[in-house]
Structure 1
Amino acid sequence: MNVRKMSLLALFIALSVIGAAIKVPAIIGSVALDAFPALLAAVFFGSGAGAVVGGLGHMMSALIGGMPLGPLHFIIALEMALLVSLFAALYKYGKKILAGTVFLIGNAFVAPLPFIFLFDFTYYIALVPSLLIGSALNTAIAFIAVPRLNPILKGTYHRGEVKG
């Protein structure tokens, strides 16, 4: 990994920390705008970079929110990393709408499924609306930002031509 790529990833992680401070009203205080920088990193730098930004972004969001679920946030960070990697893979093959849809459904409905077993179904039902809103906002911001950032990042390190 070269210095330029590490610097850009640090920038996207910093954007994720800023997004982590912008909370979506929720029962749990860690639903935030921390995922869109991970989606951007996934588009511009690949699934591994996006996964790192997604996982670290969630951990920072949870930390800013007071870690309401304690060590369970590590599971959520792993889920976020996997969802961002899947988004990157689908986006890479030109399936943009599918990538956004899979991320939205995965983050809002699939990722919180373990909490049905850890807590109960009512917790899941209470969590889904805020996760759906947060996921939709993060995905929309990413889709709006990609074509605008592509000309700027074209001269830097990113994998191939991004079709905005």
Structure 2
Amino acid sequence: MKKNNLRFITLTALISAICVIGSFIKVPGFITTAALDSAPAFLSVAFLPPLFSGIAGGLGHLASALTSGFPSGPLHIIIAIEMFIIVFIFNMLHKKGFNIIKWLFLIVANGILSAIPFYFIISPAFFIGAVPNLLVATVINAVISMLAMPIIAKVFNERKVSNV
């Protein structure tokens, strides 16, 4: 295994562990309970490739679901896959320098679009009840990431921790 791959796997595991910690900080809502489990995965785009950031995002959601007792059962697999895709694309936008678009994409994709499958799977009422809480939690996670990302990027660039 290449040295960089081992470094990326280790950093992904660490980010996933921090996602677990964030999953205990809940943002209560009417129907759903979101958490601050996404911020570490969002921050990881500063030093991880898209694949590894996406994995951290998916694992972060599963940790949050576990700490909530898996209220949506196996549907959390769908959400974890969505988180993987959202963080993966967010990372690609970050790497390409789309600084405003990446945040808009993140908020719209995670706060609104990710709930669309549940409009059809569960009900329109569930979708309408879940989106406000999901949107608030997404904005909180994004703001935390937005504020911390310049510091994290500077640390990783100065110490040459990753060669992304």
Give TM-score, length-normalised by structure 1. 0.91
1:28 maps to 2:32: yes
Greater share of helix: 2
Once the two structures are superposed, residues 120-159 of structure 1 have per-residue CA deviations (whole angstroms, 9 ceiling, x without a partner) of 1111010011001110011111111111112322221141
Quote the residue 2:162 is aligned against.
157
Q: Distance in 2 between matches of 1:52 and 1:79?
A: 11
Code of the aligned partner of 1:28: T
Write out the 4+ residue segments of structure 1 that deviate beyond 6 Å after TM superposition: none
Pairwise CA RMSD: 1.2
Selected match of 2:43 from 29, 36, 40: 40
Change over 3 Å in CA distance of 1:116–1:39 after alignment to 2: same
Q: TM-score with structure 2 length normalisation?
A: 0.91
| Structure 1: segments with no counterpart, 5+ residues | 160-164
1:90 counterpart (86, 89, 93): 93
> 2:104 aligns to what?
101
Kept in 2, the 8 Å contact 1:42–1:51? The answer is: no
The answer for the alignment partner of 1:17 in structure 2 is 20
Structure 1 partner of 2:59: 56
In structure 2, stretches of 5+ residues that fail to align are none
- How many matched pairs? 158
Counterpart-to-counterpart distance in 2, 1:59 and 1:20: 9
Amino acid corresponding to residue 130 of structure 1 in structure 2: N
Provide the C-alpha distance between the structure 1 equivalents of 2:105 and 2:7, rounded to a whole number of angstroms.
30
Partner of 1:24, secondary structure, is strand
**Seq. identity, %:** 37
